[in-house]
Structure 1
Amino acid sequence: MGIRGQVERRTFLKAAGVTVASLGATAVGCGGGTGGSGGGGGEVTIRYAWWGADDRAKKINQAIALFEKKYPKIKVKTDFQPYADFWKKFNTQAAGGNPPDVIQNAVTFLRKYAARNVLLDLNPQVKEGNLSTQGFRAGLEKFAEIDGKLLGVPVGSNSMGYIIDEKLYEKAGVTPEFGWTWNDWVAGLGKIKEKTGVAGDAGPSGIMYYYDLVLRQRGKAFFTDKGLGFEESDLVTEWTEAMKRTRSGLYANPKRVEQLKPKSATAGGISAGEFTWDNFSVRYAAEGKSSYGIAPIPTIDGRKTGQYLGSLMLSGTRRTKHPKEVATFINFMVHDPEVGRIMGYDRGVLATQKQFDAFEPTDKVSKQIAAYETKIAQSGVLEPITPHPAGSDVVETAFMRLATELSLGKASPGEAAQKFFAEAKTALSTSD
């Protein structure tokens, strides 16, 4: 979960899914352990790698300059790549026994790398006082704990939201409010179509995280910690209804949606809304010509949204020779207020309360994101996130691909669901 668009994410997932298998044999039984730095009291250099672009690199380098000023005996060598290239390079480095000491990480890969013993358990560093797990915003305290191991520390948060074209909603007389139901939402899509001639939604059938919310509202989930948390029949029902709404015009024409990519359907003016991560909303103002807002997630009962906070995180790797310095660096990056002011919401809403309070957004989009996450936290709808099982990245790629085939008429709901479950079973069983 980052701030890149769905097309970049799809490319990244495909790339990572086919290269990570080589990690297991080299990572097991290796690493710097959990003790001191091994630096002998002299200067230590740690390597930090992340994905992103030049703007993020500029901010991170500013933050590192502050860190090195405070800790002059710890130098940080940096490396950044675009989303897909980052994981290609990291997989190669890890398989070769030379991964960076610290990486930017995401929940999609947490359990996979945990199973391959690639990541450093940070709990010993917490006990030794080199890393604090206090002061995180609600919903993030235990974000990266797996089987008693602390494998990452959040740097920012995001949650699923519903991005709307505010002008189209106003013209149609539809006002989304916290507690609105799926019936309210569908009725609103119909009004929008009738009053504006624009499809109410871009078509959510290929968005795994949208469907996860729907399932969680029903007491299920897309993933458990070991596999899928729903049945093939559930997906057939969901995709059958999606095709009906597409044919009726409530959802946008899938061919036009594909043609617009990488621009989103809502920013492109062919739909009035779409489900995505709240911090992705920055792209709409840049891509579109209307004004955009973040609407609440519809519900079944007016209360349970199924939402949780996702997050980018910082993880150490087990092969590091400097676990103490790794923990010291991570601690600084997630707790120091000045770092919060520098980074802003580049990687999501700041994870610790101290950094959140230090950064005062001035632009409309950042203010909307902060207000939205504050509201869902205060309303008590946030639930714990389930770390995805190993192989979940491959599963998500299959889900998106088959949903696209479905929407373009290349497969029926039953055929697409059957293929998905077959591919998911293979991906999850071969990633153990």
Structure 2
Amino acid sequence: MQPFAIKVSFSKVPVLRVPILHTIIISIGSYVISCRMVPFFMYFYCLSLKEEKMRKLLLLSVIVLSAGLVFAGGQGESADGSSDQVNLRFSWWGGDTRHKATLAAIEAYEAKNPNVKIEAEYGGFDSYYQKLVTQLAGGTAADVVQIDYKWVHDLAAQGEVFVDMNTLTDKIDMSGFDMKFTRAYGAHGDYLLGLPTGLNAFGLTLNSPLLKDAGIPVKESWTWQDILDYGGKVRALGEDKYLMGLQPQHFWYVIKIQLKQKTGNNFIKDDLSFGFEKQDLVEVLEYIDGAFESGAFAPLEETVLYDGKGWDQIPNWLNGSYGMISSWASVYTTVKNATTFDMTVARFPIPEDAVNPGLQTTPSQLLAVNSRSANKEEAIKFIDWFFNSEEAINILKDCRGVPPTSRARDILAAADELDTDVVTAVNLALPYSGGPENGPSLNKEIETIVKDYVQQVGYKVLTPEEAATQMMEDLEKVLSQL
């Protein structure tokens, strides 16, 4: 009696008869394909066949299948042997130079880890914080997040929204970081929210040709009186010319720095009292008002149009209308790449009688891991590669300021890849640092109030005296809730 068989027939194709028992065995065997045992299974099965042609046909299939599995294995696994697909999101802000470098780094990481796909979420600084806070509250924030050191206090108040970096010393090599500096700016108490992406300093970027045309020395050290004294010389070059361009958001730094230079205190003390007297604030607002009046500062009507944008996107700087701008060292290369005239760097103004030099030296940003990420381990692995691999160091260079690790600085210095002006900007400021700011002085709501009242002075809505009175009243309301 002949065994029961399945008959499969196609036009012009020979009839194939396969015993049903053999079909069942092959089907069961395919179940183990994921563990790559199927070639062995089929090999021994082939040897059991009595028909010579069928045995040869299936042996050929085994060879092809084995080769395919080997090839697939080589393509599907990451550098650490993982073959599971992982999707990460990485959010940051910056200019074109930073975007291009970071995208190139992501591409390099994906090439080393074919099972990892990193979605880049990048743009300008404006509205970044508001979007981040909303995403954190809704559980939709990216896995790897660039944050500003100024947000540490407020973000920590929301709970442990980011993985505590103190718990990752066995997974991220932190030996190259200055951990005292890292904790001074990246920690809230014992909770370390992120690692610094670079060393940064707030200073001046000078339009050398314009200053020379106005007969103004191109120098590294400036006082606030210099700004007032030289403003008229630049105005004499044309109606569209101003000595100093300040974005409205940067007046927050002008206020804090000038007050610290007067008093030696943080804007808000640790006990939540003011670090200044009302008269101190009035004098700083009078200075700002006078700088607008004299034309030393570009008018708010111009600068407010581009608040939160990078200087590489602001026409009146790019066309050479400003003699200098306030800027962070970390964006200098981006601005230089967009500018056609010669630029150089200088220290932010310090008065000769300063109690504290007050300059802002900080991390460029911090890199953090979302504590609610579904792929924390891969995000942590990516950050370790981002900071410590020679490949990433050579790709990123100084797109986020002077690199934060000693190894990165050594590698880039040896390759002559560090922008000397960026290094100079940081080195000019470091000896004159005002020191770390406390949490209350970094409060976002306090910053917004200060900026709003500076604008009311600039637009002549309030006098410096009126603005100081009302500002302090509004600040007290916020402080009472901290």
TM norm structure 2: 0.67
Residue 118 of structure 2, aligned match among 77, 80, 91: 77
Aligned partner letter, 1:244: G
Cα gap change, 1:168 to 1:92, in 2 (>3 Å): closer
> What CA distance in whole angstroms lies between the structure 2 residues aligned with 1:287 and 1:54?
9
- Give the corresponding residue for 1:318: 371
> What CA distance in whole angstroms lies between the structure 2 residues aligned with 1:191 and 1:93?
48
> Residue 278 in 1 paired to residue 329 in 2?
yes
* Counterpart contact for 2:221–2:346, Cα < 8 Å: no
> What CA distance in whole angstroms lies between the structure 2 residues aligned with 1:390 and 1:114?
15
Cα gap change, 1:258 to 1:97, in 2 (>3 Å): closer
Provide Cα deviations, 1:255-299, integer angstroms capped at 9, x if missing partner: 344468762654454432232223344465566654322122232
Q: Following TM superposition, by how much is the alpha carbon of 1:153 offset from its aligned partner in structure 2, in angstroms? A: 0.3
Cα gap change, 1:145 to 1:417, in 2 (>3 Å): same
- Give the corresponding residue for 1:221: 266
> Residue 344 in 1 paired to residue 404 in 2?
no
- Give the corresponding residue for 1:47: 88
> Residue 400 in 1 paired to residue 442 in 2?
no
Secondary structure of the 1:272 match is strand
Cα gap change, 1:61 to 1:267, in 2 (>3 Å): closer
- The 5 Å alignment of 1:180-219 reads 180-193=222-235, 198-202=241-245, 207-218=251-262, 219=264
Secondary structure of the 2:433 match is coil
- Give the corresponding residue for 1:414: 465
Q: Following TM superposition, by how much is the alpha carbon of 1:166 offset from its aligned partner in structure 2, in angstroms? A: 0.8
Secondary structure of the 2:283 match is helix
Q: Following TM superposition, by how much is the alpha carbon of 1:237 offset from its aligned partner in structure 2, in angstroms? A: 1.2
Cα gap change, 1:58 to 1:277, in 2 (>3 Å): closer
Secondary structure of the 2:322 match is coil
Residue 171 of structure 2, aligned match among 111, 130, 134: 130
> What CA distance in whole angstroms lies between the structure 1 residues aligned with 2:216 and 2:179?
31
Cα gap change, 1:270 to 1:351, in 2 (>3 Å): same
* Counterpart contact for 2:230–2:296, Cα < 8 Å: no
Cα gap change, 1:306 to 1:382, in 2 (>3 Å): same
Cα gap change, 1:72 to 1:362, in 2 (>3 Å): closer
Q: Following TM superposition, by how much is the alpha carbon of 1:375 offset from its aligned partner in structure 2, in angstroms? A: 4.3
Cα gap change, 1:138 to 1:207, in 2 (>3 Å): farther
> What CA distance in whole angstroms lies between the structure 2 residues aligned with 1:93 and 1:245?
40
Residue 350 of structure 2, aligned match among 283, 293, 299: 299
> What CA distance in whole angstroms lies between the structure 1 residues aligned with 2:223 and 2:127?
40
Aligned partner letter, 1:335: N
- Pairs aligned (count): 386
Q: Following TM superposition, by how much is the alpha carbon of 1:192 offset from its aligned partner in structure 2, in angstroms? A: 4.3
* Counterpart contact for 2:266–2:438, Cα < 8 Å: no
Q: Following TM superposition, by how much is the alpha carbon of 1:114 offset from its aligned partner in structure 2, in angstroms? A: 0.6
Unaligned runs of 5+ in 1: 1-40
Cα gap change, 1:284 to 1:85, in 2 (>3 Å): closer
Q: Following TM superposition, by how much is the alpha carbon of 1:81 offset from its aligned partner in structure 2, in angstroms? A: 4.0
**Percent identity, aligned pairs only?**
22
CA RMSD of aligned residues (A): 3.8
TM norm structure 1: 0.74
* Counterpart contact for 1:47–1:78, Cα < 8 Å: yes
Q: Following TM superposition, by how much is the alpha carbon of 1:134 offset from its aligned partner in structure 2, in angstroms? A: 2.5
> What CA distance in whole angstroms lies between the structure 2 residues aligned with 1:96 and 1:338?
35
Q: Following TM superposition, by how much is the alpha carbon of 1:337 offset from its aligned partner in structure 2, in angstroms? A: 2.5
Aligned partner letter, 1:119: F
Cα gap change, 1:393 to 1:202, in 2 (>3 Å): same
> What CA distance in whole angstroms lies between the structure 2 residues aligned with 1:114 and 1:71?
32
> What CA distance in whole angstroms lies between the structure 2 residues aligned with 1:80 and 1:343?
17
* Counterpart contact for 2:318–2:339, Cα < 8 Å: yes
* Counterpart contact for 1:108–1:387, Cα < 8 Å: no
* Counterpart contact for 1:110–1:144, Cα < 8 Å: yes
Aligned partner letter, 1:343: L
> What CA distance in whole angstroms lies between the structure 2 residues aligned with 1:194 and 1:138?
49
- The 5 Å alignment of 1:154-165 reads 154-165=196-207
> What CA distance in whole angstroms lies between the structure 1 residues aligned with 2:416 and 2:168?
38
Cα gap change, 1:426 to 1:71, in 2 (>3 Å): farther
* Counterpart contact for 1:214–1:306, Cα < 8 Å: yes
Provide Cα deviations, 1:38-93, integer angstroms capped at 9, x if missing partner: xxx884736333134776555334323444566677x3532404345654554344
> What CA distance in whole angstroms lies between the structure 1 residues aligned with 2:424 and 2:470?
40
Q: Larger Cα Rg: Structure 1 or Structure 2? A: 2
> What CA distance in whole angstroms lies between the structure 2 residues aligned with 1:365 and 1:238?
36
> What CA distance in whole angstroms lies between the structure 2 residues aligned with 1:367 and 1:347?
14
* Higher RCO structure (Cα 8 Å, ≥6 apart): 1
Provide Cα deviations, 1:117-148, integer angstroms capped at 9, x if missing partner: 1122111212xx21233323698433302201
> What CA distance in whole angstroms lies between the structure 2 residues aligned with 1:260 and 1:417?
26
- The 5 Å alignment of 1:347-386 reads 347-359=400-412, 366-377=419-430, 380-386=431-437
Cα gap change, 1:267 to 1:387, in 2 (>3 Å): farther
Aligned partner letter, 1:418: T
After TM superposition, the structure 1 stretch with the greater mean CA deviation from structure 2, 130-139 or 328-337, is 130-139
Secondary structure of the 1:59 match is helix
Provide Cα deviations, 1:21-48, integer angstroms capped at 9, x if missing partner: xxxxxxxxxxxxxxxxxxxx88473633
Q: Following TM superposition, by how much is the alpha carbon of 1:313 offset from its aligned partner in structure 2, in angstroms? A: 1.2
